[in-house]
């Protein structure tokens, strides 16, 4: 019996979340409880049918999965998920090493963690927790990760516009499945990244970002490009929280 079959609780947690108004629900594949790329097809079928969730972070199963995934299979799983469900979001945690993360991002990861604290209350206390939910392998801070990814053509996004504009759940999926969400994502990525550059980035990151932003503007919908440029100028002049 696979580890997925052993630990799944089909529909129970997902159902509670939906009844309480959650529009977006995910499945923590990062716990590496699917033991082979071949099992991904079955995992997708179960997820679509029942929405089962894996073990919570900090649990014995999450800390020591019965069937850990190899690096090769992990790459295959990311690629298969991206090809099978091209509109879904995939988040890569700091559990993985920097070199491995940079390689897997190129296979279809849409979000990554940076500067993570994994213990309960660590962000507020400012100190390490005795029992972290998992061990962190990528200990680079946010600015260093951004600086390392910019030469690959990635533009980081800190956008929360969809949640604040009600583009969640079915409303989001109607835009994501046909690719129209990109019309919002690209300009919002540039606007939020410009805020980061103005308020938090190191001088080296600011300098490196100039070329990346210039190239990224080519990906902005022509109907929004000029307005995006205007809003970028407003951010540089001191305004904040501008989005489409």
Instruction: List per-residue pLDDT tens for the chain, 244 residues long.
Output: 333 333 445 456 656 766 777 766 665 554 444 446 666 666 666 555 544 444 455 556 555 655 667 888 889 889 988 988 888 889 999 989 999 999 999 999 999 999 888 777 777 776 665 666 778 899 999 999 999 999 999 999 999 999 899 898 888 888 888 888 989 999 999 999 999 999 999 999 999 999 999 999 998 999 999 999 999 999 999 999 999 9
CB-based contact 149:99 (threshold 8 Å) = no
- Rounded distance between C-alpha atoms, residue 188 and residue 176, angstroms: 15
pLDDT at 2: 37
Tokens read off for 113: 């963690």
Which whole-number Å values give the CA distances from 173 to 14, 87, 125, 179, 237, in the listed order?
18, 8, 37, 9, 35
Output the pLDDT for position 12.
63
Q: What is the pTM of this model?
A: 0.73
Cβ distance 58 to 84 under 8 Å?
no
Reported residue count of the chain is 244
The domain locations on the chain are 1-140, 159-244
Q: How many CA atoms lie within 13 A of 14 on its CB side?
A: 18
Q: Report how far residue 30's alpha carbon sits from residue 135's, in angstroms, rounded to the nearest whole number.
A: 12
CA distances from 127 to 58, 179, 224 (A): 18, 42, 43
Residue 80, helix vs strand vs coil: helix
pLDDT of 124: 76
The CA distance from 141 to 137, in Å, is: 12
Q: How many angstroms separate the CA atoms of 4 and 30, rounded?
A: 13
């Amino acid at each position: 019996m696979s580890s997925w079959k052993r630990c799944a609780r089909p529909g129970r947690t997902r159902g509670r979340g939906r009844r309480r108004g959650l529009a977006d629900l995910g499945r923590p594949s990062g716990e590496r409880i699917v033991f082979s790329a071949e099992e991904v097809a079955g995992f997708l079928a179960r997820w679509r049918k029942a929405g089962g969730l894996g073990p919570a972070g900090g649990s014995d199963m999450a800390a020591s999965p019965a069937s850990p995934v190899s690096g090769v299979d992990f790459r295959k799983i990311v690629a298969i998920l991206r090809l099978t469900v091209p509109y879904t979001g995939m988040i890569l945690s700091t559990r993985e090493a920097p070199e491995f993360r940079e390689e897997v991002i190129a296979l279809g990861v849409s979000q990554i963690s940076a500067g993570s604290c994994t213990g309960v209350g660590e962000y507020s206390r400012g100190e390490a927790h005795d029992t972290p939910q998992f061990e962190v392998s990528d200990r680079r801070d946010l600015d260093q990760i951004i600086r390392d990814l910019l030469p690959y053509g990635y533009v980081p996004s800190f956008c929360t516009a969809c949640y604040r504009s009600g583009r969640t759940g079915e409303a989001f999926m109607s835009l994501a499945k046909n690719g129209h969400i990109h019309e919002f994502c690209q300009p919002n990525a540039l606007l939020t990244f410009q805020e980061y550059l103005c308020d938090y980035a190191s001088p080296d990151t600011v300098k490196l970002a100039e070329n990346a932003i210039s190239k990224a503007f080519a990906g902005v919908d022509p109907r929004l490009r000029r307005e995006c440029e205007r809003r970028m100028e407003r951010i540089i002049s001191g305004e904040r929280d501008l989005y489409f």
